[in-house]
Structure 1
């Protein structure tokens, strides 16, 4: 096995930062990111991802840098950059290609480069390997080695964290595999799983997220039909889950950096091989359409409740892609915001976890504080943040116009995740809707 003393992590987001921190307990670690602002925050002990938190970040012995030359002495380089999709739903490999070029220009002879970014099978060996060779002038297999270990970070999850999630590892040959397995074994208490080759490891990541996407799509399709039948979907789910082999999925808005993206990598590669993926494509079609369904339902509830849609004050609670984390990537809540704005409606966005400056810059969404909600005609809870779950009935009622100002209209409450008691909400006078 190759001796590893110095590890460089390239890409310090939700995946790379916790990884670098964990490795820093056992190795010399360099954390590189091309984002100068992010590096400056990390050096100050500020963690905008909220994955580590400031206290843990300050304890981590990481050399943070935006200078790629600093990775030159690393024996082991981990690439953990995003792999998004283009507007036409095809894979956008530019981040992983660009980072490969950067690593290639600065890595030393004998280094092992491991990719954690989600890709379709073949990208590590057929795309990244040649870029590393070209930029370094070194020969793959002789002068440096490569491997793949798919990330399994779940943003905002404080239970399933890096150290207690089994890590899939793979390498281009047996010796490389064993070195990679040994390095990751120092930080992964749950252990590592040795995939027989890189292709299997790449495919496994796509499969696990596509499987989850399909299961949520199934529940979303049921929800669409149950609404036509006037059946409460969550009541059906509660009844169904009494069986021992029920899977426990619920309908919802599917966004984020994994489940809403990774299936398209599989679909793309399958199409290149002449195979049209019926099930995965159908799941993506259903889940991508749920934003439209929520918007349509919100407008219908306003009309049913005799609310003047031209002047209605609509508050959307939650702009991140999931609860209790600041990650807004591929957020369906942001999509809903823009759709309603496109109809000329008076919409306000609230999120105690999202960064107001970032969300304004990236998405053109102006966040207001929770304390600024007043005289609402409609409150739509899109994300189940703890702050929203903790609302008392009195707090919810205080967000709306009083009875005189409503002029006979009912206060509309959309509860996408079903975090409130339906009967209590209806008895309290709300026009209550949940997915």
Structure 2
């Protein structure tokens, strides 16, 4: 069976491309491809599919473009039979013990297998450790379809590199890693992705290599941020401003520009565990990667402890204080709350009988309640605070003046009794000092 005609059939409109999983990754891919070829967008979440059909993009990744896209949205897996090129972009979280949770990938593999026609190329984009695509996904698809991989259908892997909330490094502007099970599939997969990736594609020799590229590039970032977080903790003990240190360091040409912070989300806070888990199965125990994860996973508690210490130094009893947290998403200007480390701040404060009030206009209140048990409060309905923790650098928080921030505190408090915790160091040091407030920043 020949597979080298799929590209031409897609361009001519003779065949369709399908996306399985329409979240922060799958949605932009579907919409971009739909500008060039017929696209079926499938997701098991009927509510999400109906929102897309009605022109609502809850991910905020494509905005108003949702209203004009030609993507054929559906929650019916049987529609996948209409496609000859299927891209799988479902989440790959970790379990409570930080081991890989492959249920979404396995479920997607089963659905694809049950609804795939001969002559199809399947490409996985979900972040996995090396070997998952070939050792786990192929057997499931073969079992469910009754079709032989390499004979009746072919497979490839092209790791997603989308950065949620980033309007600069968008899908088409990020070079794409592509791979296939053999030369024929690799060539065809590259041609298909070249339709939309303006930055070009980069072919690697094997699927395992492509899988490794993804988990290693994010593990590298995680380790570098862990180093900066450790530096922040050292500077805190030395009573040196970390931000000023980094500003000075970054004047050198070979500085890497990493900054300390809460490391959550669907990639950097997760992918290192996929890599180290696979390594441990082969008898190698990580010396650096897991220690970096340990540092980064501890930062929520570190921030909470800093807030408690600052409140005590300001003369208040933390248990009786009203603490307001601004932001719960895992990064700024993005509604994505997956693996949010702000939740670690909340949990640690609760261990000291402090129940913070949380506000975030970007986050979905239902998701925050369901995933974390956190009730979000509208910004305008926030109670006056003793301590304000600005945990996420949303633009609306960055634009607030010191006078506006002071309005968030209780009437009657003198400036030095107002505690401001600037996790992202979004406010200038001279302004913080001039405010007279008790402040701390990471």
Q: Deviations over 1:333-378 (max 9, x none)?
A: 1221232233221410010100112212222111111112342100
Q: Partner residue of 1:25?
A: 35
> Paired residue for 2:285, among 276, 285, 309?
276
The within-5 A match list for 1:36-435 is 36-53=46-63, 55-402=64-411, 404=412, 406=413, 410-435=417-442
Any idea what SS the aligned residue of 1:124 has?
A: helix
Aligned in 2, Cα 1:407/1:311: closer, same or farther, shift over 3 Å?
A: farther
> Paired residue for 1:11, among 7, 11, 21?
21
Q: Deviations over 1:212-268 (max 9, x none)?
A: 000000000111111111111111100000000000011000000000000000000
Any idea what SS the aligned residue of 2:426 has?
A: coil
**Cα distance in 2 between the residues matched to 1:388 and 1:197:** 45
Q: Is the 8 A contact 1:306 1:409 kept in 2?
A: no
Q: Deviations over 1:63-111 (max 9, x none)?
A: 1111100010100000000000011111011100110001000000010
The TM-score normalised by the length of structure 1 is 0.98
**Cα distance in 1 between the residues matched to 2:88 and 2:164:** 18
Which runs of 5 or more residues in structure 2 are unaligned? Answer: none
Q: Is the 8 A contact 2:415 2:438 kept in 1?
A: no
Aligned in 2, Cα 1:419/1:281: closer, same or farther, shift over 3 Å?
A: same
| Post-superposition offset of 1:409 | 6.0
Q: Deviations over 1:292-328 (max 9, x none)?
A: 1011111000001101222211000100000000000
Any idea what SS the aligned residue of 2:266 has?
A: coil
Deviating 4+ runs (over 6 angstroms): none
**Cα distance in 1 between the residues matched to 2:439 and 2:5:** 61
Count of matched residue positions in the alignment of Structure 1 and Structure 2: 432
Any idea what SS the aligned residue of 2:356 has?
A: strand
Any idea what SS the aligned residue of 2:165 has?
A: coil
User: How big is the alpha-carbon RMSD for the aligned residues of Structure 1 and Structure 2?
Assistant: 1.1
Q: Is the 8 A contact 2:415 2:436 kept in 1?
A: no
**Cα distance in 1 between the residues matched to 2:437 and 2:415:** 12
> Paired residue for 2:5, among 2, 5, 19?
2
**Cα distance in 2 between the residues matched to 1:133 and 1:431:** 62
**Cα distance in 1 between the residues matched to 2:106 and 2:345:** 32
Q: Is the 8 A contact 2:346 2:355 kept in 1?
A: no
**Cα distance in 1 between the residues matched to 2:18 and 2:276:** 32
Any idea what SS the aligned residue of 2:248 has?
A: helix
Q: Is the 8 A contact 2:162 2:170 kept in 1?
A: yes
Q: Is the 8 A contact 2:416 2:437 kept in 1?
A: no
**Cα distance in 2 between the residues matched to 1:180 and 1:350:** 44
